[in-house]
Structures are given as structure tokens and as C-alpha cells.
Copies of this chain bind each other. A is one copy, B any other.
Amino acid sequence: MRDIAAEVGIMPASLYHHFSSKEDLLVSVVSESVAKIQRAVDAAIEDIEEPWVRFTAAILAHVEALLDREGFQVLVMLTLPPEISDTARASLISHRNEYERRFTSLLSAFNTPDGTDQRVLANLILGMLNSIPIWYKVDGGSSPREIGQNILSLVKGAFAQ
């Protein structure tokens, strides 16, 4: 809380005018992050009918929103602090599940190979996407668009039409 206050430029106590507790702030951050990505994906796919084009547009929008500066905070989508309360944990997991559900629905238009499970595939792909900030280099590495191309070349095999 002290670090966040310093970043914002106010005293730690002033944070409690905006958030009732540390956990409340965390839940807000995650909610905002997920909502930001969700909005970007929705905007990217709204006019697209063809399933594969729609799916690839969603992936690219997700990656770009994730890496679009100040978007790195979505890393908290990945791991939940173990000491968190049950109510906060339930709230955070529900946000993750809601996004996962929508993402999975993008896959339902495809015939996936025998032995595959669309929910497992969706979780695998989302895990891959959301891990990018861990190794992404802002300067000198691959651009979000180049990373997106690598992702699509990986993913296309499971959804050959």
C-alpha cells in the first residue's frame, strides 16, 4: 500500500478514501484489467463472422491489450496470493472464469482433433497468452504483432478446417 501510494503521489492513508482495504484495491485492479482486455477483444471481433478470423482477431487483441503499457498489471490474473480471503479469492476467480467461458465459446465453432477438450485448449491458450508479460522485453525483443504471429502459427494446427 505504501508503494502504491508513493507511485500515485499521495500518503498511504489517503488510499483508504478510495478503497476500503488492500484486498478491495486488488480486486478492483484485477476487475479493471480483465474488463480492459474484454473490451479490446469485443471491439476487435464484433463485425467478424468467420470463426477462424474471429478467433485470430481475439487472440491478437488480447495480446496487444495485455502488452499495451500500463496493461502489465493483468499479470495478477495468473496467480492469486495464497493469503487472500475467501471472498476476495471467489471474486477474482469468477472474473477469470467469466473470461475463460467467453474465450472457450470462440472455439465451439471448430472441429477439434480427437482426444482434445475445448476447455483444456482454451485454458492452455490463455495460459500461453497471459504468460507473455513474464518474458516480454519492451525494448529489443519481438513486438506484440510478431508474438501474435508466432501464437497463430502454433494454434492453427489444432483447428485446421
Q: Tell which of A8-16, A31-39, A122-130 binds the partner.
A: A122-130
Indicate which residue in B113, B126, B127, B154 contacts A155 across the interface (CB closer than 8 Å): B154
When C-beta atoms are compared, the residue in chain B nearest to A83 turns out to be: B3
Query: A120 at interface (Cβ–Cβ under 8 A)?
Result: yes
Q: Tell which of A21-29, A43-51, A141-149 binds the partner.
A: A141-149
Interface SS of chain A: helix, strand, loop or mixed?
helix
Chain A, interface size category, equals 35 or more
Contact A135 B127 (CB under 8 A): yes
Indicate which residue in B112, B127, B147 contacts A120 across the interface (CB closer than 8 Å): B147
Query: A134 at interface (Cβ–Cβ under 8 A)?
Result: yes
Contact B128 A132 (CB under 8 A): no
Indicate which residue in B100, B128, B135, B158 contacts A153 across the interface (CB closer than 8 Å): B158
Query: A68 at interface (Cβ–Cβ under 8 A)?
Result: no
Q: CB within 8 Å of B: which residues of A?
A: 75, 78-79, 100, 112-113, 115-117, 120-121, 123-128, 130-132, 134-135, 142, 146-147, 149-151, 153-158, 160
- Of the A-B pairs whose beta carbons lie under 8 Å apart in the complex, a sample of 11, sorted by A's number, is A79-B79, A117-B150, A120-B146, A123-B131, A124-B131, A126-B131, A127-B130, A128-B131, A154-B155, A156-B157, A157-B157
